[in-house]
Amino acid sequence: MSYLLLDAVFLAAAGAVATLALQQRRLDRTRLAATGIALAVLLVLTAVFDTVMIAVGLVAYDPALLMGFRVGLAPLEDFAYPVAAAILLPAVWALLGTRHE
């Protein structure tokens, strides 16, 4: 199984939960803006720390399972997890919280 296929599973699950939250009007503009800011921060941190971990040899990837695109030393596939987290967690929080109207 390639890293991209594994990423697709996590992104699809996060997208499904976020879609449900949007359909139920649980995510307003403020939450979406906060999600966007959190996502940007997570992507920068992922690029920095993954590059450091790969550079010092803590993590290695099978090149045959990668697409080949990198940000620093971090493969593009590594960025799916922070994207999924930034989408999934606010959606779950919104769905589980009380609804104020």
pTM for this structure? 0.81
Q: Is 49's pLDDT higher than 90?
A: yes
Cβ neighbors of 10 (< 8 A, separation 6 or more) are: 80, 81, 84
- Per residue in 1-21, pLDDT (tens digit) is 788 889 999 999 999 999 999
d(CA 73, CA 69): 9
State the pLDDT at residue 62: 86
Which one-letter DSSP state was computed for residue 59? -
